[in-house]
Structure 1
Amino acid sequence: MLGKYKLSIVLLLLLIILTVSTFLQSNDLPAVVSALSEMSLLWLTLGILSVLLFVILEGVMIWHLLRSFQKGIGLYQCICWSFIGFFVSGITPSATGGQPMQIYYMKRAGIKVSASMPVLMILAVLYKLVMVSIGAGLSLFWATGLAAYFGDFLWLFYLGLGLNSFVVVLLIFIMLRPLYAEKLILKIERLLTAMRILKESPERQTRWLSAIAEYQQVIGFFRKHKTTLLSVALMTFIQRCLPFLLIWIIYRGMGLSSVGILSLMALQAAVTLAIDLLPLPGSMGVAEFVFTTVFAAVFSDKLLPAALCISRGLSFYLLMIVSAAIFAGVHFSKGKTAKKEYRDFLI
């Protein structure tokens, strides 16, 4: 089961080594350590709590939605599935592996795929909608600020906004126009097969169409549970703001106060959107580059490397360590296997 992701884990480790070595070569390490030591312990603790709460809140939303489909779901289980999703998303390009792995472990716990898949799709749609809405708001009302901070790399922000907008439109199109979606997917599959990018596989067509059929259950959920959906949408917005709040926590923890909380959160949101769908595990390397480019005008030359270390250290590396530990605990715990069901829904 885990063997499928060995290559991704190796690639992630190589990217970590390359990123760390590049960072050490381009920065004064004693100065960075000195800046890190000046970070307030109280603010650092708040930063740790904010990133942990980010993942925990997704588990709360999974639990909240699953109860509408299936009774007897434990909140602790759902939080574990959230950490599993974070870990696998972090080791796969464009975070593509998280949801299939969550479906697998939900199946082990007795959750039907017909319940888990619509729930995860709802969260995916809401997540993308929130990100696109924030990005659209920034581009409409703060375009000058974005241009000033991003400089020549503003195109990365608009690329991220465009890619996320495309994903939102595609997901909504699949939900609202299943027949058109089926025809489009079959045409794409035939084209890729003709180009010999894909091998002929009737089983693959069946899997794709089956996934679309399962996805239609989201429509029924929208119609029958509007109040639940609105509450989850609000929780999604709050959840998405937590990583954006982290940069303000770091900023204040370093004793700085000249830049306002909204400006810092807006910048972090723009950075997140710029790297969100890049095809690298955890956006390694690119995330660090965009961060240092955008926040160069916020932190001094001395504090910028330390701010980067704390930001990436908490929002990615710390969460990966915690998620890996929880993943290992869940994986080796007793439970029913569901390898066939997992393969059937890997697309």
Structure 2
Amino acid sequence: MLGKYKLSIILLLILILLTVGTFLQANDLSEVLSALSEMSLLWLALGILSVLLFVIMEGVMIWYLLRSFQKGIGLCQCISWSFVGFFVSGITPSATGGQPMQIYYMKRAGIQVSASMPVLMILAVLYKLVMVGIGIGICLFWSTGIAASFGDYLWLFYLGLGLNSFVVVLLTVIMIRPNYAEKIVLKVQRLLTVTRILKVSPERQTRWLSAIAEYQQVINFFRGHKATLFSAALMTLIQRSLPFLLTWIIYRGLGLSGIGILSLMALQAAVTLSVDLLPLPGSMGISELVFSAVFAAVFSEKLLPAALCISRGISFYLIMIVSAAVFAWVHFSKSKVQSKEHRNFLV
């Protein structure tokens, strides 16, 4: 199943090598290691916990939304799908591969695409909505501070805010007007048959339209359960705040003080927003560049490389390793033989 992502994996590995090479060339390794040794193990453990909880909470929200209309969904299983999404998102440009892979494994576990797709779409909208809300809040209440911290990279912040706002509007329109999905599916099918990629098949069209009808039913269900959506929004806000907390944890763990937790969380949120949708696997390279520029005034020249290593090491590399292990467990824990319905969905 990961065969289609081979090029993305290769690109990620190349970017890792280039990023590590650039980092080692720009910094004295012995000084970096010396600074790393100053990090408190207790604070380091708290940092790891915060990022793990970030991924786990997405699984909790998947479980919370799915169980609203489909019983018998296991919490641990939903958490494993969250790690699958994190891993595949990390190896694909703009994190585009995570949700399709989650849908695939949810389908293999017996959850219809018409149920999994709207649930994941709701989570995507809430996730982006929280990001946009934080970005707008920063613009309204801390524009001077963010401009001073970002300097020449301020345009990246506004680009990220604009792209995320566009995605929120697009996904919201699709959710509010699910009949658009039917028009899109029919046009795609017509294009595929005209170009002879697919054969003309009334049965396929019936299956697709049936899936869309079920999708609309799920969307309508959540429209009538606004309290469920509100609870999911609150959980998303908490979940989204956890990785922003990591920079403050590193700051304190390196023995620093003087800058408040909200200021550091706002800076990290702005950095994340800036690189979130850029077409690079794992935002590799650009994340390190923006972090170094924005937090240069927060960490001393001696501690900045160490802070960067800890931040990216925990929030990306460590979680990628954990997610890869969970992905392997999900992939091989059950038979890879798909149901006839699943196999023939696009035939």
Q: 1:1-347 maps to which residues of 2 (within 5 A)?
A: 1-179=1-179, 215-335=215-335, 337-338=337-338, 341=342
SS, match of residue 333 in structure 2: coil
CA contact (8 A) 1:32 1:303 kept: yes
Query: 1-side partners of 2:63 and 2:177: how far apart?
Result: 28
Query: 1-side partners of 2:163 and 2:196: how far apart?
Result: 28
Instruction: Please give the per-residue CA displacement for 1:102-149, whole angstroms capped at 9, x wherever unaligned.
Output: 111111111121211111111011001100111011111111011000
Query: 1-side partners of 2:316 and 2:164: how far apart?
Result: 21
Worse overlay, 150-159 or 62-71:
62-71
Tell me how far 1:228 sits from its aligned partner.
1.6
Tell me how far 1:219 sits from its aligned partner.
3.0
Instruction: Point out where structure 2 has 5 or more consecutive residues left out of the alignment.
Output: none
Instruction: Please give the per-residue CA displacement for 1:67-112, whole angstroms capped at 9, x wherever unaligned.
Output: 1121111111011000000000000111011011111111111112
Tell me how far 1:200 sits from its aligned partner.
7.0
CA contact (8 A) 1:107 1:338 kept: no
Query: 2-side partners of 1:12 and 1:329: how far apart?
Result: 22
Aligned length, in residue pairs: 339
Query: 2-side partners of 1:256 and 1:93: how far apart?
Result: 35
Instruction: Please give the per-residue CA displacement for 1:235-270, whole angstroms capped at 9, x wherever unaligned.
Output: 100000000000000000000111110000000000
Over the residues paired in the alignment, what is the CA RMSD in angstroms? 2.6
Query: 1-side partners of 2:189 and 2:270: how far apart?
Result: 34
Query: 2-side partners of 1:262 and 1:270: how far apart?
Result: 12
Q: Measured at CA, do residues 342 and 123 of structure 1 come closer, stay the same or move farther in structure 2, by a change above 3 Å?
A: farther
Q: Measured at CA, do residues 98 and 208 of structure 1 come closer, stay the same or move farther in structure 2, by a change above 3 Å?
A: farther
TM-score of the pair, normalised by structure 1: 0.90
CA contact (8 A) 1:93 1:281 kept: yes
Query: 2-side partners of 1:141 and 1:201: how far apart?
Result: 52
Q: Measured at CA, do residues 230 and 266 of structure 1 come closer, stay the same or move farther in structure 2, by a change above 3 Å?
A: same
Query: 1-side partners of 2:235 and 2:328: how far apart?
Result: 28
Question: Aligned AA for 2:22?
Answer: T
Worse overlay, 171-180 or 232-241:
171-180
Query: 1-side partners of 2:189 and 2:306: how far apart?
Result: 47
Query: 1-side partners of 2:7 and 2:161: how far apart?
Result: 29
CA contact (8 A) 1:104 1:338 kept: no
Instruction: Please give the per-residue CA displacement for 1:296-330, whole angstroms capped at 9, x wherever unaligned.
Output: 11011110010000000000000000000010111
SS, match of residue 71 in structure 2: coil
Tell me how far 1:11 sits from its aligned partner.
1.1
Question: Aligned AA for 2:237?
Answer: F
SS, match of residue 299 in structure 1: coil
Question: Aligned AA for 2:216?
Answer: Q
- Over the matched positions of the two proteins, sequence identity in percent amounts to 78
Question: Aligned AA for 1:35?
Answer: A
SS, match of residue 332 in structure 1: helix
Q: Measured at CA, do residues 189 and 16 of structure 1 come closer, stay the same or move farther in structure 2, by a change above 3 Å?
A: farther
